[in-house]
């Protein structure tokens, strides 16, 4: 079946371009009986391997029958499978892959569940090659069920399934590059932060400096907009590293950049983290369980043992995270015993550009736009709603934590770092 015919039959003409690459070549390999992964016995085995409960497995099996009975849907499913799990897997922009809503209506979200399940043999091969323990595989694979019943597709429609966005995220799990270790998930990757980190050779203290040419507000948060530098409260950072001196604007581990240039003797400070350095990204799936302080510490301990053992070829310098839960303002808005505040105090925070929409959805629910009608059932919802109504902005933040500094519960960067004796440095 050619691409235009498929798109016309499924009512996806406007999105056909997303499937253009390799379409014809892949269709020539479509088995006469249709994609094997849509056969009932294979779907049942895949659902069992993916640890889907019986009611979910039944819904997936029913959707597979509908896809198998529709030649256009079968052609599309085969294309998606081959692109992602074939001999030469690609990494297309899955957010641009539309849902076949016209053809499958309420089951549209299960289409990409079927495609994901078709990649189980590939995932198992990676696990065998690496020797990944069964308990880690179980924790990681269970994210499919969690996403099907908790993330954006379900929240929008009330039906199980995956949006293209969540399908793309779960590909990290299925390709064997992301693992859940207790409460947190971890994924090797390059550091993308706009900062440089240095460690004192004598004391071991850590100091982060903002990259050159970034614009900040007077309070040290990142300033948005192309004219930010010309704003009344805007200022621009500089960073110069030579063989004798490191000169730049320091980042307080509480998450703001201090408008006071520091000059460090290069002989006393060595580079610890820079853009593109290998790191372990921390990802925090929606609960339950709560993001309890002890559970987070245990996850980090497990990661420090797991990755050197099973991924010795992927050494990392630091744990890094970027998320709305790292908004430095939360420490002032929430109670000290809040899980989010306690997590922030254990890591070195740094500012990122705002992401209020992400926080709004996470805290108040998907699609929340008017804060006046947002729910206020929890103390967090009440605190953030009041903050916004007073003219405040919500924003994201980043953090890092070096394994050699790990001492969960001691707030190491605040208690022993450069800023430990200058709490008012901001």
- pLDDT, tens digit (0-9, with 9 covering 90-100), for 297-332: 999 999 999 999 999 999 999 999 999 899 999 999
| pLDDT score, position 343 | 97
| pLDDT score, position 227 | 57
Task: Report percent pLDDT > 90 for the chain.
Answer: 79
How does the average pLDDT of the chain come out, rounded?
A: 92
52-77 mean pLDDT:
98
Domain chopping of the chain, boundaries: 3-175, 178-355+395-426
| pLDDT score, position 182 | 97
Measure the CA–CA gap between 204 and 198, rounded to whole angstroms.
9
Measure the CA–CA gap between 319 and 53, rounded to whole angstroms.
33
The per-residue pLDDT for range 154-200, each reduced to its tens digit, is 989 999 999 999 999 999 999 999 999 999 999 999 999 999 999 99
| pLDDT score, position 367 | 64
Look at the pTM and tell me if it is higher than 0.85: yes
**pLDDT at residue 254 greater than cutoff 50:** yes
| pLDDT score, position 356 | 59
At 423, the pLDDT band (50, 70, 90 cuts) reads very low
Q: Order of strands across the sheet with 278-283?
A: 179-181, 184-190, 278-283, 319-323, 397-401, 348-351
- Tell which residue, 168, 142, 166, 143, has the closest CA to residue 154: 166
The per-residue pLDDT for range 358-415, each reduced to its tens digit, is 666 777 776 666 777 778 888 888 888 888 888 888 888 999 999 999 999 999 999 9
Measure the CA–CA gap between 19 and 100, rounded to whole angstroms.
13
The per-residue pLDDT for range 2-14, each reduced to its tens digit, is 999 999 999 999 9
| pLDDT score, position 287 | 78
128-142 mean pLDDT:
98
**pLDDT at residue 425 greater than cutoff 50:** no
| pLDDT score, position 381 | 84
SS (H, E, C) 178-246: CEEECCEEEEEEECCCCEEEEEECCCCCEEEEECCCCEECCCCCECCCCCHHHCCCCEECCEEECCCEE
- Tell which residue, 161, 191, 181, 132, has the closest CA to residue 283: 181
Cβ(19)–Cβ(5) under 8 Å?
Answer: no
**pLDDT at residue 1 greater than cutoff 90:** yes
**Length in residues, the chain:** 426
At 424, the pLDDT band (50, 70, 90 cuts) reads very low
The per-residue pLDDT for range 21-47, each reduced to its tens digit, is 999 999 999 999 999 999 999 999 999
Give the CA-trace dihedral at 293, 294, 298, 304, to 10 degrees. 50
| pLDDT score, position 32 | 93
Measure the CA–CA gap between 302 and 309, rounded to whole angstroms.
11
């Amino acid at each position: 079946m050619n691409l235009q015919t498929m798109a016309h039959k499924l009512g996806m003409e406007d999105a056909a371009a997303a499937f253009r690459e390799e379409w014809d070549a892949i269709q020539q390999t479509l088995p006469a009986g249709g994609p094997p992964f849509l056969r009932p016995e294979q779907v049942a085995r895949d659902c069992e391997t993916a640890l889907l409960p019986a009611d979910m497995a039944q819904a997936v099996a029913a959707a597979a029958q509908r896809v198998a009975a529709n030649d256009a849907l079968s052609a599309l499913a085969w294309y998606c499978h081959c692109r992602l799990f074939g001999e030469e897997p690609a990494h297309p922009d899955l957010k641009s892959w539309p849902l076949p809503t016209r053809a499958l209506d309420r089951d549209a979200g299960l289409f990409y569940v079927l495609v994901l399940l078709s990649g189980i043999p590939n995932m198992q091969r990676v696990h065998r090659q690496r020797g990944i323990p069964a308990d880690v595989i179980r924790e990681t694979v269970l994210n499919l069920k969690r996403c099907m019943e908790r993330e954006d597709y379900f929240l929008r429609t009330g039906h199980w399934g995956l949006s293209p966005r969540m399908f793309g995220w779960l590909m990290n799990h299925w390709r064997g590059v992301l693992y859940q270790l207790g409460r947190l998930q971890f994924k090797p990757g390059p550091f993308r932060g706009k900062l440089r980190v240095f460690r004192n050779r004598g004391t071991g203290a850590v100091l982060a400096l903002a990259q050159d040419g970034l614009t900040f507000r007077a309070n040290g948060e990142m300033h948005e907009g192309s004219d930010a530098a010309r704003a009344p409260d805007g200022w621009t950072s500089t960073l110069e590293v030579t063989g004798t001196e490191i000169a730049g604007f320091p980042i307080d581990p509480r998450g703001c950049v201090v408008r006071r240039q520091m000059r460090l003797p290069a002989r006393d400070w060595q580079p610890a983290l820079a853009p593109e350095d290998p790191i372990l990204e921390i990802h925090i799936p929606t609960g339950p369980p709560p993001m309890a302080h002890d559970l987070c510490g245990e996850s980090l301990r497990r990661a420090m043992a797991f990755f050197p053992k099973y991924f010795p070829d992927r050494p990392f310098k630091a744990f890094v995270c970027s998320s709305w839960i790292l908004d430095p303002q939360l420490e002032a808005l929430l109670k000290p015993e809040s899980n989010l505040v306690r997590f922030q105090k254990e890591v070195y925070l740094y500012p990122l550009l705002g992401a209020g929409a992400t926080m709004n959805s996470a805290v108040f629910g998907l699609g929340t736009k008017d804060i006046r009608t947002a729910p206020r059932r929890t103390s967090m919802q009440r605190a953030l709603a009041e903050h916004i109504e007073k003219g405040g902005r919500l924003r994201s933040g980043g953090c890092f934590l070096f394994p050699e500094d790990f001492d969960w519960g001691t707030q190491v960067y605040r208690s022993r770092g450069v800023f430990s004796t200058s709490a008012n440095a901001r």
